[in-house]
Amino acid sequence: MSIPSVAENMGQPSLKRVMGPWLLMLFIVGDILGTGIYALTGQVAKQVGGVVWLPFVVAFAVALMTAFSYLELVTKYPRAAGAALYTHKAFGIHFVTFIVAFAVMSSGITSASTASRAFAANLSNAFDLNLAGGIGITLAGLAFMALVAAVNFRGVGESVKFNVVLTCVELSGLLIIIVIGALAISAGEGDVSRAFEFKAAEDGGTFWPVMAGTTLAFFAMVGFEDSVNMAEECKDPVRHFPKVLLAGLVITGLIYVAVSVSAITLVPAQQLGEGETPLLQVVEAGAPNFPLWIFGIITMFAVANSALINMLMASRLLYGMSNEHVLPAVLGKVHLKRRTPYVAIGVTTLLAFGLITFVGEVPALGGTTALLLLCVFAVVNIAVLVLRRDPVAHEHFRTPVFLPVLGALSCAFLAGPWTGRDPVQYKVAGVLLGIGVALWVVTVLLNRASGKTPVNAPASGSD
C-alpha cells in the first residue's frame, strides 16, 4: 500500500519518488563499495596477516544482523531520518534522538569529506597536477564537494543516475583486481597459501588481531544504512527494501572476499600494508603492463561515489528530523521546482567544507566513522525490540528476535577499546558529540522562541 510521507501529511511539497528496485540496488551496492575496500585492504592485512578476507567476513556478519533490524524498521516506518527516527519512536527522549541523528550525520559528512580529499589526491596523481602541497589538495577537495552539492540539489533522480555510472566504474575496478588474481592463480603465479596465514598477537593468539582487523574492515561494510534515509524517494519501500538490501549486502560481501584473496595472493601482507594504494600494488604485481593511470582514475571515481551518496544521506537525514521537529524547521524546506531539501544540502555542505579545510587525518576520520556507526547500530538493534509493542496498520518485514540481540552485543563489543582501536578515534568522536550537545542547546532555544516542541512518537497504529 502507498504510505504518505510526513511532508505530504503536512501539505507541503514532498520528496519525489523516483527510485525503483534496480536504482535502489545500485545505490546500496555503490554506497557499500568505494573508499573502504580501495583504501583499507592493506591496513587490514597489517593487522591479521594473510587472512585479510576474514575480518571482512566477520564485519559482513555483524552488518547483516543489523541490516535485518533496519529492514523491519524501514518497512514499518518508511520515512527519511532512519536511525534517529527509530530512536525517537522507541525511547521518546529528544536529547538521545538528537545525538543519534548528529552521530549518523557526522559519520556521513566525515566519510564524504575524507573521500573528497582522497579524490583530490588521486586527481593529482592520475594527471600529474602536483597538488600534493596541501593547499592544492584542499582547494580541489572543496571544488569537488561543491560539485557534489550541485548534483545533490539538482535532484535525487539525477543524483542516483549519476550514482549508477559511478557504481559501474568502481565495480569495474574491483572486477579488474578479481580477474587479475584469477588469471595469476590459474597460471600458477602468486601464493594462494598466504590467504590462510594468521598474524599472531604478542600472546600467540589470533582472536584479537582478527578483531582489530574487523574494526577497520567494518568501515568498508557500512553504507547500507544510508539507503533507509531515501525511503520517501523510493516507489514502494515496503515491498522493495527487504530483497534489495539483503541482495546488495551479499553481492558486496562476495566481492570483498574475492578482492582480498586476489590481493594477498599477489602481494605479501607486509608489503600490502605499506602506503595508501594497496590495490594499485596488486595491479602492478599481477598485470605490470596494465596502464596504472587508468586504475588511478577508477579509484578516483570510486571515492567520488562514496562522497555523493554520503552527502545525499546527510541532507535527507536533516530534512527528516526537521519534519519531526527535532531540528529547526528551516532544515525541512523543500525547493518548489527541484523538490530537494536545499537548506539541508547547504548546511551539510558547509560542514563538509570545514572538515576538508581543517581536518586531514584520513585514518582517524575513517575509524571514527565506523566507531560512531557501531554505537548507532547497537541502539537501532535495541530499538527494533522496543518497537515490537508499537503495531502499525500495514504489513511489514519482521526479523527473528535473536538477530537484533546478537547485533546489539556484537556492535557494542566492536566499539570497545579492547579491540585495539586507536584512542584518537574516541577523541575525535568526543569532539563531534560535544558539538552535537552544543547544537542541541541551540535547537531547544530556537524551539522555545518559535513556540514549537519536538514531535512525540506517534501513537500505536497511527502509521
pLDDT (tens digit per residue) in 402-461 = 999 999 999 999 999 988 888 888 988 888 788 778 777 777 787 787 766 665 543 333
DSSP string, 356-418: HHH---HHHHHHHHHHHHHHHHHHHHHHHHHGGGS--SS------THHHHHHHHHHHHHTSGG
Buried b (16+ CB within 10 A) or exposed e, 431-457: ebbeebeebbeebeeebeeeeeebeeb
Residue 203: the pLDDT is 65
Residue 81: the pLDDT is 56
Residue 445: the pLDDT is 82
Neighbours of 151 (CB within 10 A): 17
Domain ranges in the chain are 25-450
The residue type found at 376 is V
Q: Nearest Cα to 262, choosing from 44, 48, 38, 53?
A: 53
Q: Nearest Cα to 230, choosing from 151, 319, 148, 144?
A: 319
Element housing 259 (H / E): helix 237-266
CATH class given for the domain over 25-450: mainly alpha
Rounded to two decimals, the pTM is 0.81
Residue 457: the pLDDT is 42
List CB contacts of 121: < 8 A, sequence separation 6 or more. 131, 132, 137
- 401 near 72, Cβ under 8 Å? no
Question: Average pLDDT per run of 10 along the chain, which is 463 residues long?
Answer: 42 60 80 77 88 94 93 82 81 86 84 81 69 73 91 70 76 92 87 88 77 88 75 74 88 93 92 78 87 84 80 81 73 82 91 80 74 94 94 87 96 92 86 79 76 51 35
Residue 1: the pLDDT is 36
The residue type found at 41 is T
Q: Cα(300)–Cα(303) distance, rounded to whole angstroms?
A: 6
